[in-house]
Amino acid sequence: MEFLPPELSAYADAHTTPESELLKRLNRNTHAHMLRPRMLSGHMQGRLLAMISHMLRPRRILEIGTYTGYSALCLAEGLTDDGRLITIDNNEELEDFARSYWNESPYGDRIDFRLGNAPDLIPDIDEVFDLVFIDADKQNYALYYDLVLDKVRPGGILLADNVLWSGKVVEPVKPSDKDTKAVLAFNEKVQHDPRVDNILLPIRDGLLMIRKR
């Protein structure tokens, strides 16, 4: 995931607003106790998510892929006073862990965790979203995009994580590598969608920012 030389990454981190103590603890305990801690957004990307949320002041946020709840806390920072963040994940074993940190934050009562498969749950969500963050199984990225775009207001923002996929998007793709094929197809789908404007940010593992026209 790390494409910059280590010294430049360290310099960028040093000139980025630090994590809160709560986020530091969540970050540390995710790495200490959870499988695949690289799935955590982490300091740099977390501050970017928070910055975008503060800029948008969203009333409704949808997150697809909760993991240990770090990105939800970052996104919730910019919510309006009556705002709500809906986050979807199919791993019930992580719910209590994530909630324990949410409940220590000012946003615990505004984060709505929904357990289940996103393709089954999203069609029944009757909301208009200002901000959507897609960070789940790569093979369904295009499906998630299709399911949520009509629920995003004009001018709303979608963010999709891992769109550089550890650099595999510019390497020869093995026939069996379904995840890389899915990421490539998703990136091309968005690039050629006349309903949106987009920019691929080479931050961490790649973040695709999409604005609905």
Query: Does pLDDT of 196 surpass 90?
Result: yes
The mean pLDDT of 185-211, rounded to a whole number, is: 97
The mean pLDDT of 175-201, rounded to a whole number, is: 97
Per-residue confidence (pLDDT) for residue 203, from 0 to 100: 92
Over the stretch 82-92, which tens digit does the pLDDT of each residue have? 999 999 999 99
What CATH number is given to the structural domain containing 48? 3.40.50.150
**Residue 112 to residue 76: CA distance in whole angstroms:** 11
Over the stretch 147-161, which tens digit does the pLDDT of each residue have? 999 999 999 999 999
Query: Does pLDDT of 1 surpass 90?
Result: no
Sheet containing strand 84-89, strands side by side = 111-115, 84-89, 60-64, 129-134, 152-161, 207-212, 196-201
Considering the domain boundaries, does residue 175 fall inside one?
yes
Q: Which has more pLDDT, 1 or 191?
A: 191
Over the stretch 6-34, which tens digit does the pLDDT of each residue have? 999 999 999 999 999 999 999 999 999 99
Query: Does pLDDT of 2 surpass 80?
Result: no
Domain residues for the domain of 18 are 6-212
Per-residue confidence (pLDDT) for residue 4, from 0 to 100: 84
Over the stretch 101-146, which tens digit does the pLDDT of each residue have? 999 999 999 999 999 999 999 999 999 999 999 999 999 999 999 9
Considering the domain boundaries, does residue 129 fall inside one?
yes
What is the overall mean pLDDT for the chain?
96
Considering the domain boundaries, does residue 1 fall inside one?
no
> What is the total count of domains within the chain?
1
Considering the domain boundaries, does residue 66 fall inside one?
yes
Per-residue confidence (pLDDT) for residue 93, from 0 to 100: 93
Burial of 212 (0-12, 13-18, 19+ CB in 10 A): buried
Q: Which residue has the tokens 């993991």?
A: 67
Q: Are 121 and 114 in contact (CB under 8 A)?
A: yes
Kindly state the percentage of the chain with pLDDT values over 90: 96
